[in-house]
Structure 1
Amino acid sequence: MYGNSAITDVQVGIDKIDFYTPNHYLDLVDLAQARGVDPNKYLIGIGQSKMSVAALDQDIVAMGANAAEPMLTEADRQEIGLLVVATESGIDQSKAAALFVQDLLGLTNNLRAIEIKEACYGATAGLQLACDYVRSHPGRKALVIASDIARYGLDTPGEVTQGAGSVAMLVACDPGIIAIEPESLYESRSTGDFWRPNYSAEAFARGKFSEEVYVGMFEGLWNKARKQGMARPESLQALLFHIPFSKMGRKGLRTLGDGTITEADYERLTERFERSIVYGREVGNIYTGSVYLALISLLENDESLNPGDRIGLFSYGSGSVAELYFATLMPGYRARLEPQRHQALLESRERLSLTEYEAMFSAKLVTDGSEQEIKHSDCRDDAPHYLAGMKGHERQYR
């Protein structure tokens, strides 16, 4: 029965997690020199080193499928009863991206497939929905995919905070990586800090205002968590943030460095924050997947963590919705990680010249119903899925 205490007592969380980023990147030193900017403004001021650039064949569907493919066994595919794709880079106003992903991954038809949108918060909404589903259906699993391409336009203030990638999370009972606590804190309020109208391929943002909303919502949720006994900084081993660029998360963390928590607690959280941004500095902004890429980065770049350690996660989506929740590392979680493969994924990317980057950024799909063939840009073993073309206004995947 729903609401049964036996169900609520079951540990539910992320059983497997993986990510994918396209085969091309732009070095931000090259971008800075081309735009007449001191490179340190990007490397230090923004806190980024590179940004992944998606070719036409790697849209959110292809990237999402490529993120999930390596971690799914045949048993997983049979047991998935809920598939959620969270994105703010949707490809269709009607059909959910999840249905395309379902087909590419060869999942059964016995599942619910939906797409969720709320800026960068969407994946957390999907993850919480997945946890609720698994608690009610302990024998089933849920697949949550965060997939996005961040676009602000060429030679714009937001250009340096672009990126592309996808994170896939398999949610199950008795999870292999982290168990997510059922209680969390969240807040929603209508703000105009960031938006992308249906008619625009690029986003618009009020950068300073967005940072203020982000930091303000984090402070409010953290204070509530302290009052309710949920935060417990003395036992919190790491605190992860949504990081569209690493400096944003750092600003959130710095609000705790004014005596809000002890110096020892702040130093511990700061050291682990640095490990959580290793991958994000290389990939760039992936919107819905940013905080979960930070989770992978932390777990794969920090050998001092142990099973039983408690971590916090702050998720934020402009517009705006924020959530602060907590999770515990599970026994044997390291065996579920693949740091060497992920490092190889990043190192194998091709560096673009500025001209190549601008051409790739400006490439477009046809919109008149004509036929268009698209070359497969990423032939790595980790990227079997791609958009092969357009025909009669429909995307053709392989």
Structure 2
Amino acid sequence: MKIGIDKIGFYAPHLYVDMNKLAVARDVEPAKFTIGIGQEKMAIAPITQDAVTLAANAAFGILDASDKEKIDYVIFGTESGVDNSKSAAVYVHGLLGLNPHARCVEVKQACYGATAAIQMAKGHIALNPESKVLVLGSDIARYGLHTGGESTQGAGAVALLISADPKIMVLEDQNSLYTDDIMDFWRPIYSDKAYVDGKFSNEQYILFFNKVWEDYKEKTGFGLKDFEAICYHLPYTKMGLKALRTVLDQGTEEDKDRLLANYEFSKTYNKNIGNIYTGSLYLSLLSLLDLKEDLEAGSRIGLYSYGSGAVGEFFSGILEANYREHLYVNQHTELFESRREVSVEEYEVIFSETLPTDGTNVELEIDHDPAVICLAGVNGHSRQYINKLR
């Protein structure tokens, strides 16, 4: 049975800050942000958007009535959860009006969560071929103003519909995994901002990539020549390039040129959104599919997922015939074109707006947020979500 990605879409907030201007405000040479880490714009989530609304908006853009009826499993990968008990998936299920006879759960392992969700989805569909599974990767990356990690923040979500006989990509069965208990990045339960040992995390990202890549090659017999492109989890776009460069000498000059050229396509969305944690790898994949118009059906795409703490996985997919007919390129182009730049001063104000933590009720102004689905406030310790079209 062929199982894989039937639909894929993303959503990001309507606000962003220019990384050149942020660098100037932080007394940093702009090239350190735009070239050194490879970021140009950073999406900013207003207080009316959280991990739930970002994911719901991403899914809203791709699901039709038939999908909503057939989806019987929603798996939400995030490290920006809004409740320690109720899963973010249940909120999205309600906001989208999905089939009530469904299982809804939230999974967590740093930026690896959506990949774990996809593997869970494949198992479910193998047992229930008529089912569809909605996989969500949604996060808001927060390190704090004037911190070392500030330039690698971002916000957004990717939604993937996983099914049998998928229209876009068949996910191959071979994969390679590696886990080690390390402290390269973490966010204690009491903190709304992450902590990171940046140099160590970069080293581990590359180390894990090399371990899973070598194991994958041994299991499958594949090499660089068998891949049209390799997509990476991108906390910042230079990170994936650093990992790719460590294996390029294993191929020919033609392999090197092809993989480097296609990496440029795969990083474009990410460099204009920033880090979205669990959705980052799949935003990279989506960028490649949307922007590289001559990718041929039958092409094998490699996928490297890394979640700090840490879990790494390498797996692959094969593009289906006529896959481009099932992409949402125009929708994604419109999303980027409709965004509004804010000044660094405005960004700092927006970043500093937070919900009360003492149980105080609050009503939020959602008219300024163009998203269909918004957070409208908190009442009785309960977040109040609004789907403007329902």
Question: Do structure 1's residue 384 and structure 2's residue 372 form an aligned pair?
Answer: yes
For residues 180 and 132 of structure 1, the distance between their equivalents in structure 2, rounded to whole angstroms, comes to 12
| Preserved CA contact (<8 Å) 1:238 1:312 | yes
Name the counterpart of 1:271: 261
Matching residue within 278, 288, 293 for 1:298: 288
AA aligned to 2:151 is: V
Name the counterpart of 1:260: 250
Name the counterpart of 1:7: none
How large is the RMSD of aligned CA atoms in angstroms?
A: 1.0
For residues 221 and 288 of structure 2, the distance between their equivalents in structure 1, rounded to whole angstroms, comes to 21
AA aligned to 1:265 is: D
Counterpart of 1:198 in 2: which secondary structure?
coil
Deviations 1:14-33 (A, max 9, x none): 00000000010010011000
For residues 138 and 165 of structure 2, the distance between their equivalents in structure 1, rounded to whole angstroms, comes to 26
Counterpart of 1:114 in 2: which secondary structure?
strand
For residues 166 and 377 of structure 1, the distance between their equivalents in structure 2, rounded to whole angstroms, comes to 21
Deviations 1:95-120 (A, max 9, x none): 10000000000012211100000000
- Pair 377,290 (structure 1): closer, same or farther in 2 beyond 3 Å: farther
* Counterparts of residues 47-62 of structure 1 (less than 5 Å): 47-62=38-53
For residues 152 and 379 of structure 1, the distance between their equivalents in structure 2, rounded to whole angstroms, comes to 24
C-alpha deviation, 1:235, in angstroms: 2.1
For residues 192 and 138 of structure 2, the distance between their equivalents in structure 1, rounded to whole angstroms, comes to 16
| Preserved CA contact (<8 Å) 1:149 1:163 | yes
Question: Do structure 1's residue 150 and structure 2's residue 176 form an aligned pair?
Answer: no
Name the counterpart of 1:396: 384
AA aligned to 1:372 is: V
Percent identity reads 46
| Preserved CA contact (<8 Å) 1:22 1:378 | no
| Preserved CA contact (<8 Å) 1:134 1:172 | yes
For residues 198 and 359 of structure 2, the distance between their equivalents in structure 1, rounded to whole angstroms, comes to 37
C-alpha deviation, 1:389, in angstroms: 0.4
Deviations 1:314-341 (A, max 9, x none): 0000000000001100111101112222
Name the counterpart of 1:168: 159
Matching residue within 335, 352, 365 for 1:362: 352
Matching residue within 65, 69, 90 for 1:78: 69
For residues 367 and 149 of structure 2, the distance between their equivalents in structure 1, rounded to whole angstroms, comes to 25
Counterpart of 1:387 in 2: which secondary structure?
strand
TM-score (norm 2): 0.97
C-alpha deviation, 1:231, in angstroms: 3.2
Counterpart of 2:174 in 1: which secondary structure?
coil
Counterpart of 1:71 in 2: which secondary structure?
coil
Gaps in structure 1 of 5+ consecutive residues: 1-9
| Preserved CA contact (<8 Å) 1:90 1:97 | yes
Matching residue within 273, 276, 280 for 1:286: 276
C-alpha deviation, 1:379, in angstroms: 4.4
Q: What is the total number of aligned residue pairs between the two structures?
A: 386
- Pair 273,377 (structure 1): closer, same or farther in 2 beyond 3 Å: farther
* Counterparts of residues 110-259 of structure 1 (less than 5 Å): 110-257=101-248, 259=249
TM-score (norm 1): 0.95
C-alpha deviation, 1:50, in angstroms: 0.5
For residues 148 and 142 of structure 1, the distance between their equivalents in structure 2, rounded to whole angstroms, comes to 20
For residues 379 and 82 of structure 1, the distance between their equivalents in structure 2, rounded to whole angstroms, comes to 29
Deviations 1:231-255 (A, max 9, x none): 3321211101100100110111010
For residues 223 and 50 of structure 1, the distance between their equivalents in structure 2, rounded to whole angstroms, comes to 34
